Structure formats: structure tokens, C-alpha cells
Structure 1
Amino acid sequence: MGNRLSKIYTRTGDKGETGLSGNRRVPKDHPRIEAIGEVDSLNSQLGLLLAQLTEQHGACPGLGEVSEVLAPCQHRLFDLGGELSMPEYQVLEEGEVQRLEAAIDLWNEELGPLKNFILPGGSALVAQAHVCRSAARSAERRAQTLNAEEALRGELLAYLNRLSDLLFVAARLIARRQGVDEVLWQAATRG
């Protein structure tokens, strides 16, 4: 692979616009750029979760499976961001959505039914998985906003939706495998 970037700064965005494929320029707060930014933020948060899972793997070997399922998601998010900036770049396929669904189903079998609402917490890993889940929901909302203006492929929208579901289940699985109690929501009492 050749050099991808010869210069980090170009000064072309100093006036509030950025470039997309086909020499198209849009404002930096355009819905497409908002969606790309949220996908990038999600990918960064997922990278942090994966680093933390790697650090904890020795203490809790059951976390390796979680890493194996989530690690490819970083690459697919990069693909998704690429398609958002270059709509002709279409590599994310339905099979990847099905891969996430299969992991959700497998992990849910181990977890059993959810009997109460849970809060992000219990351990740093569980909380970070929930940060990723909420970042996935934010990316999905931004993609839906863009989709209302410029149609996106269904696979992209489904992938973000399923990824947030997977991250929710991953948070629960991490808690279980760490032997950490989930933080159960307690409704406020009316006085």
C-alpha cells in the first residue's frame, strides 16, 4: 500500500468546509459530516474498550471472545465512514449484520432474560461498553438524519442499530464474566 497522506494539514478546511469524494465541498456541520464524525467517535471509543479488554484478558480469560467479536467492528466502522464520505465505496454487506445478530443470540443464551433496567457501571469495562453503546446510538441517529436528506443503504443503518444492540449485550456479558454485579436501576420514590 502506498502513502495515504502526504500532508496532515491542507488549510482547505479553515473556512468551515470540508471535501468529499468527487470534489464535493460541504459545511463541516453538514449532516453527512456529522454522521462521519459520530462514526469516528464510536470507533475511537470502541478502540478504548478493545484496549481495556486486552489489558484485562489475563485476569479474565472469558473476555477474549468479546474482543474477537468486537475487533472486526472497528474495521467495519472505518468502511462505513468511508462509504459515508464516498457513497460509491460500498463494501459493508448484510453478512456483517448477520454476524452481529449471531453473536447477540449466542451471548443472550448465556445471559438469560433481562429482568430489570440496568445502568452503565459495575466496572470500568462494563461502563466503557455502555459508552460505546450510546455512541453507536448517536451515530445511528446522525445517519438517520442524513438518510432523511440523502438516502443511505439499508445495510449501513442496520449495522449501526445491531452494533448498539451487540454492545449492550457485550456490557452484560463482560459483567457476568468479570463476576461483577450489574447496576440495577431503582426508581425514585415519590415523597
Structure 2
Amino acid sequence: MTDAPKAKIYTRTGDKGTTRLVDGSCVEKFNPRVEAYGTVDELNSFIGVVRSAMASVPEVQSLDHTLEKIQNELFNIGSLLATEKDEVFKMLPPITEEQIRHLEKQIDALTVELPELRNFILPAGHIVASHLHVARTSCRRSERRSAEIAVKDERYASALQYLNRLSDYLFVAARWVNLKTGHHDVLWKKT
């Protein structure tokens, strides 16, 4: 008995600088939608790095469940950004008010433990906190790229709002990781 041939990972459809969106539309790889969902994919990967780094730091592993939830929601955002046709858009998992509120609750819960911040801080400290800061800056870029789509199409308002809250969550989570691992926030020194 022979095994059926496996599907190949390469399609060659992008060899000339184009790609297909979720809805089947063919666009250039520099299309704002491709840029937007590409930056969301990068963000998702950075959060994967955070989760991997956290695995050896028991003091902060309680963040893992929320980060996994966020990764799934980012995948949803990416699929929405990669869809222009309304009939396909409506079939995809939406970003909901409940998901945005969940992020806000997580931010509030972490903030309770943190000392008040009166200065800007440098993205530094524990390695997990530093990775969270990289994810935060990636999130801000995702937000900027997604705004290019959202300003022309109100269907993306919730995704944009989610990314805005997520960058706040990642900032607070980085500070919380530093607190839990005995690292101080590194204050910006004006020179």
C-alpha cells in the first residue's frame, strides 16, 4: 500500500509578486491588506516567543493562558484583514466587544500589583519582559497598518480597538513580569 502524495507547501502563486486573500481576491504582496495581516502574523509569532521564554519562569506562567487566547484572536484578526468581500467576511470569527473587555480586565488585574508609573521606561529588564516589549512595538505597527484598512472600512473598527488594547496589555504585562522576577523598570534618563 502506498501513501497518498502530500500536498506541497509551495504553490508558486507568489512568484510574480501577487498573493490571494482569504476571499480569493488576487492582490500585490505590497497591498495594504497584505501588509496589515502580515504585521499581525509577526506579532503573533513574537507572542509565541514570549510564551516559549516564559516556560522556564514559573513566577510568570500565569500569563500563558491569556497569551494563548490572544494568539487565537490575532489569527482571527489576520483572517478578517485578509478579506475584502463582505459575504466571506461575515463567515469569519469576529472580534467582539467581550474580547476587548477581557483585555481591559487583564490590564486592570495586572496594574493593581504595579507601582504607579510617573516616568517613561525603557524596554528592558527580564528577558520575558523584553520580549513582551518587542511584541508591544510589533503590536503598535500592526495597529498602524490595520488603521490603513479601518479608516476606509468600518467593519475593522473592533479589530483596530483590540490591537490598541493589546499594546496596552503587553506594556503592562512587561512591567508585571519585571515586578514578579525582581527586576525594576528602567527609567528613561533625559541626557
Give the TM-score of the pair, scaled to structure 1. 0.89
* Aligned twin of 2:65: 68
Query: Counterparts of 2:155 and 2:147 in 1: how far apart (Å)?
Result: 8
Identity of matched residues, %: 39
Gaps in structure 2 of 5+ consecutive residues: 1-5, 84-88
| Deviation at residue 102 of structure 1 after TM alignment | 0.3
Match of 1:130 among 133, 144, 169: 133
Query: Counterparts of 1:47 and 1:124 in 2: how far apart (Å)?
Result: 14
Q: Deviations over 1:49-92 (max 9, x none)?
A: 011111222xx3xx122222222101110111111123332422
* Aligned twin of 2:185: 182
Give the TM-score of the pair, scaled to structure 2. 0.89
Note the 1:138-153 alignment, pairs <5 A. Answer: 138-153=141-156
SS of equivalent residue, structure 2 residue 160: helix
* Aligned twin of 2:106: 103
Farther off after superposition, 85-94 or 6-15: 85-94
Superposed CA RMSD in Å reads 1.5
Query: Counterparts of 1:8 and 1:149 in 2: how far apart (Å)?
Result: 33
* Aligned twin of 1:162: 165
SS of equivalent residue, structure 1 residue 22: coil
| Deviation at residue 153 of structure 1 after TM alignment | 2.5
Farther off after superposition, 35-44 or 109-118: 109-118
| Deviation at residue 187 of structure 1 after TM alignment | 0.2
Matched-pair contact (CA < 8 Å) for 2:114–2:175: yes
Farther off after superposition, 135-144 or 21-30: 21-30
Query: Counterparts of 1:117 and 1:141 in 2: how far apart (Å)?
Result: 21
Gaps in structure 1 of 5+ consecutive residues: none
Farther off after superposition, 63-72 or 124-133: 63-72
